[in-house]
Structures are given as C-alpha cells and as structure tokens.
Structure 1
Amino acid sequence: VKVIDVRSKKEWEEGHLHDAIHVTLGNLFEQLDYIPKDFPIVLQCRTGLRSAIAASILQRAGIKEVVNLKGGFLAWKEEGLPYTTCNLNV
C-alpha cells in the first residue's frame, strides 16, 4: 500500500503519515506519471474532502485500487496513531 498525502506543504510539515508520498491536490494531475500503479493507494488530506477529489482523479486516470482515508489526518491524530513531523516519529 502507498499513501499519498494531498495536503499543502505547510500541512505536510506539521505532520504526516510515515512513508507517505506528498503530492498536493493542485499538482496531482501533472504528477500522474509518478504515481505508483502497482500498489493499492490510500489518499489522505486533513479531513478527507480533498483526498476524495484526488481519488476521483486517479480513478478517472485508470488507477483502480484507490481508497480515501476516512476523516483524514485529523482523525488519524485523534486516534493516537503514529505520524512523523520533520523527520521525527510521533
């Protein structure tokens, strides 16, 4: 599974899932060639709204194994799940 975080650079720097790939929603279409197609993809943003849009874009581009992380990064943090900030694991 590959996680793609579609939040802004500032949001990314405040914390992100370990091993996530950062591609902002605004740059997603032009980065399609670099999106791994041989793994299932989990898309994530702050609350799940932008990542739902990103999921739609990837599915229309022919990438079938795509899911949206329900509740986004905020829900992840609220559950006390691990994440990384500035190369430090939290």
Structure 2
Amino acid sequence: MTDDPRIHPFFAEVRKQALASVDENDRRTLTCSRCGGGFGCNPVGKCWCSDEDFKLPSPLPGKFASFGDCLCPKCLREVAAELKDLAPPT
C-alpha cells in the first residue's frame, strides 16, 4: 500500500490497521465500541456508512470521545441524531 500524503498521519495509521484486517472479500468484522454488537465494514471499497446522510467528526467530541473505531449502523445513527440535537442553532 502506498502512503497518501493527503491523509493526516493519525488517520493514515488507522487506515493502515483497517486495511491489514480485511478478509478475502475486502471486508472486516468489527465490534461496535458503543453497544458491543458485531457488524461488517469495507475500508477498501463502498461501505454501508458511505450511504448515510451525515458524517461524524473524528475524533468524536465530549462524551462520545471514547468510541475508538467505527460504530454499527444503529449506534452511528443514534449518535449522529444526538450530536445534531446538541448543535447550536444556525
């Protein structure tokens, strides 16, 4: 894998670790750091999260900062909704 200078070094390391854990179908199985449930991720190609209407900041702010990796679909949507509710009105 070639290093991409456009990627921040922290995220480059996270990406490198993610790519090292893919199976023969370019998928990896993760445990959600919020609920503990298992779910699939595709760091190489199109993943389910790319179809979501929102993107979470990384690292996550405040009480969500302890979530270290991707969240499962249910938790991702719940955290996004909670962050939206906490955002100041524009």
Choose 1 or 2 for highest CA Rg. 2
> Which TM-score applies when normalising by structure 1?
0.24
Which structure's residues are more often strand, by fraction?
A: 1
